[in-house]
Amino acid sequence: MRRFAVALAFVVAVAAVTAGSAGSRTSKSAFAVSVEPSVSAASNGLTLETDLEGTFNVANKVANGSGSYSLMAGTTLVDNGTFRLTRLVAFQFYGCGEVTTPDGPVTLPPDFCGGRALFAVHATSSSTGEQTDGLYEVNCQIHDPGGQAPPGTSEGIKVNARGVNFNKHVTGDNLFMMLP
């Protein structure tokens, strides 16, 4: 188990992100990305907690920023470390300014946006210093007023660590903020 954790590699746990029709509206946009501590679970019981702060530019696929991860087996810490964004792989834009709650739509600032971003990352284990490259997906459910995020999506992150799919969102809040 320790060897698995040390060689933690981020790989997307879902199909490739495709650009939606609204994506053309943001083809030249830049965004800040914020992932509050967000937990995803795998079917084998492992959980992965990550956080992230960074920026990305959709037009030139540039991304900068960093985050941390903790791999847990129940209450036992298996591995932890840091990762940095190396580039934007893909971005699907949902829109800006509104989120749907169980009580109905909530209006947000017009630069608060949603979508699904796929980033290439470089991760480093804090315990061994081992480094690896991979992919990290962020999903934010904000959308255009009167619209909705795509069916079947949910707020959170998804990753795959050495074949273990962390594809169940447990907790987490994410935000894409459109930059001027």
pLDDT tens column, 64-80: 999 999 999 999 999 99
- Looking at residue 162, its pLDDT comes to 62
Question: Which range of residues forms the domain containing residue 24?
Answer: 2-153+162-178
User: How remote is the C-alpha of 60 from its chain's centroid?
Assistant: 19
Q: What are phi and psi of 147, to 5 degrees?
A: -100, -160
For 157, the enclosing helix (H) or strand (E) is strand 156-161
Could you give the CA distance from residue 115 to residue 113 in angstroms, rounded to a whole number?
A: 7
Average pLDDT of the chain is 84
- What is the total count of domains within the chain? 1
User: How remote is the C-alpha of 45 from its chain's centroid?
Assistant: 20
Q: Residues with Cβ < 8 Å from 76, sequence gap 6 or more?
A: none
- Single out the residue of 92, 90, 87 nearest to residue 120, CA to CA: 87
Q: Is the per-residue pLDDT at 23 higher than 90?
A: no
- Looking at residue 165, its pLDDT comes to 82
Q: Is the per-residue pLDDT at 10 higher than 50?
A: no
Could you give the CA distance from residue 40 to residue 137 in angstroms, rounded to a whole number?
A: 11
pLDDT tens column, 138-163: 999 999 998 888 998 899 998 876 66
